[in-house]
Amino acid sequence: MSREQVSIAIVGAGAAGLMAAIHAGRCAEGRGGPIVAFDGARTIGAKILVAGGGRCNVTHHEVLPEDYAGSSRNAIRKVLRAYPVEAVVDFFAAEGVTLKREETGKLFPTTNKARTVLDALLRSVESAGVELRHPARIESIDRLEDGFHILGDGLDVHARRLILCTGGKALPKTGSDGLGLEIVQRLGHTVTSAIHPALVPLLLPDGDGVCELSGIAAPVTLSIRTGEGRPIAAYSAPILCTHFGISGPVVLDASRYLLADRAAGGSADAYVDWLPDEDRGAFERTMLSASGQTTCQGILRGRFPERLLRMLLVAGGVDALDRVRTLTKARRIAFLESLFNHRLEVVGDRGYTFAEATAGGVPLSEVRLDSMESRIVPGLHLAGEICDVDGRVGGFNFQWAWASGFLAGRAATVATTRAT
Ligand SMILES: Cc1cc2nc3c(=O)[nH]c(=O)nc-3n(C[C@H](O)[C@H](O)[C@H](O)COP(=O)(O)OP(=O)(O)OC[C@H]3O[C@@H](n4cnc5c(N)ncnc54)[C@H](O)[C@@H]3O)c2cc1C
């Protein structure tokens, strides 16, 4: 097999890889030799198609470094600034995809179809003159003096520059199974000591009262605290009770903090405030001044669905018909704890198959932030989830992919055309 020569190889054509391909191609304007994007998946863009429940939450109207975890906020800010939300909105508008902002601040295509987003990206890759080749799984990459030797799936390629966009490990059936993380390490990079699912539902022990509430959703504040009680993170949004434990936006957002603490040897747990809009002190005063006839069930009525209400009574160690005023102080506190500070004994997570993102990856300290070029392997650029950056629910992960992909694609072309 003769070795194919390309100018830029993009390995991984998910959100970041497609954006990198588009900007590499546009910037090259046909100069500098072939630009080829390789992806191992049979179906390109499977993750884009399932994103946002099939509607694709492309970005968020306001994206701040605080919406992310992993590498330093300053580093994340620099990359995000280079390709802000307005640039993404304009990019998609120019490709015929109008985005609309929903009440939550999330931006979706007006068609409500992820397919519209993917089709626009694929059209744009083609018109930028980039070849998209798949299924073409890359098995190994070696650094050469004048570029990279890329092998896989009947492929033997020499590339002058390489953009690695193989993602993390979330939803491995779409092709992001972590091989890229091994490849980047073999090339000389480090990855964070802990790599774990982010935006993932959490498991509770069999028989936990919450598992009996399958299907119930409620607005809560969910706090993650270390085993020593130090607050790590807190989010307010709906929780969804399921047969295995808890899910919903608030759980997805908080999950990475609990798992990170545990991965570091800690014993963080999750605490639910089931009455996020009520003040605990005021509620206690309402209890103390309630009529002698007011029962524990009565004081909660109207605040919760019936099944949740019953679970909270059990968790608080009170009977439905116990009179609120006759509870001893210790029992009153236990009841209040179940309402405002309900500890959930998280026994695990649902794993990468159900995770929307990966926490951990290549630290941004190993990357030049104006070009996403490696500080360790010249000629290699990184973009997307392979980096140690994970965002909360709401379009933040795609925004990271668009911004880092844009920088990597453009910079790779600038470097190759400068060299010719
Ligand atoms: C169910 C779900 C819903 C989501 N919804 C949203 C949402 O609405 N909004 C949002 O902002 N984020 C969402 N996300 C997160 C978002 O999809 C990811 O953060 C983003 O797609 C990451 O882009 P990426 O290009 O870095 O990686 P990926 O999208 O994972 O793409 C990596 C690509 O690399 C390819 N690849 C991997 N290894 C190789 C190899 N060795 N050779 C060749 N190709 C390879 C894979 O086939 C894949 O196509 C969701 C994720 C999931 C799982």
Per-residue DSSP letters for 171-193? SGGGT-SSHHHHHHHHTT----S
Where a domain ends, among 349, 374, 401? Answer: 349
* Residue 262 shares a structural domain with residue 404: no
Same domain, 339 and 358: no
Strand partners of residue 142: 149
Residue 1 has pLDDT above 80, yes or no: no
Q: Are residues 361 and 326 in the same domain?
A: no
Tens-place pLDDT, residues 385-414:
999 999 999 999 999 999 999 999 999 999
Q: How many separate domains does the chain show?
A: 2
CATH number, domain of 80, equals 3.50.50.60
pLDDT in tens, 141-189: 999 999 999 999 899 999 999 999 999 999 999 999 999 999 999 999 9
Cis peptide before 135 (omega within 30 of 0): yes
Residue 124 is part of which domain span? Answer: 4-195+354-419
In contact, 9 and 163? CB cutoff 8 Å:
yes
Same domain as 368, residue 342: no
- Ligand 1 midpoint to CA 72 (Å): 22
Rounded Cα distance between 57 and 206, Å, is 33
Q: How far is residue 76's CA from residue 68's CA, in Å, rounded to a whole number? A: 8
Q: Are residues 151 and 251 in the same domain?
A: no
Q: Which of the four pLDDT bands, split at 50, 70 and 90, describes residue 417?
A: confident
Query: Same structural domain for residues 134 and 250?
Result: no
For ligand 1, say whether the CB of 356 is within 6 Å of any of its atoms: yes
Q: Which residue has the tokens 């987003």?
A: 117
Residues 138 and 8 occupy one common structural domain: yes
Give CB contacts under 8 A, 24+ apart, made by 137-142: 137/38, 137/40, 137/175, 137/179, 138/11, 138/38, 138/40, 138/179, 138/183, 139/179, 140/183, 140/186, 141/11, 141/183, 141/186, 141/187
Pick from 289, 157, 305, 134: which is nearest to 217 by CA?
305
Based on the domain organization, do 165 and 269 belong to the same domain? no
Give the tens place of pLDDT for each residue, 93-141. 999 999 999 999 999 999 999 999 999 999 999 999 999 999 999 999 9
Ligand 1 atom at shortest distance from the alpha carbon of 395 = 11
Residues 255 and 362 placed together within one structural domain of the fold: no
Quick one: which atom of ligand 1 is closest to the CA of 385?
A: 26
Max Cα separation, the chain?
89
Read off the pLDDT of each residue in 352-371 and give the average, rounded to a whole number. 98
Instruction: Say if ligand 1 is within 6 A of residue 394 CB.
Output: no
pLDDT in tens, 256-291: 999 999 999 999 999 999 999 999 999 999 999 988
* Phi, psi of 369, rounded to the nearest 5 degrees: -80, -15
Q: Same structural domain for residues 332 and 360?
A: no
Instruction: Using the atom order of ligand 1, give the atom closest to the CA of residue 174.
Output: 47
Percent share of the chain, pLDDT over 90:
96
pLDDT above 70 coverage of the chain, percent: 99
pLDDT of residue 141: 98
Model confidence band, residue 418 (pLDDT cutoffs 50, 70, 90): confident
Q: Does any ligand 1 atom lie closer than 6 A to the CB of residue 15?
A: yes
The predicted pLDDT at position 420 comes to: 64
Residue 291, Cβ density class (10 Å: 0-12 exposed, 13-18 middle, ≥19 buried): exposed
Closest residue CA from atom 10 of ligand 1: 395
Atom of ligand 1 at shortest distance to CA of 15?
25
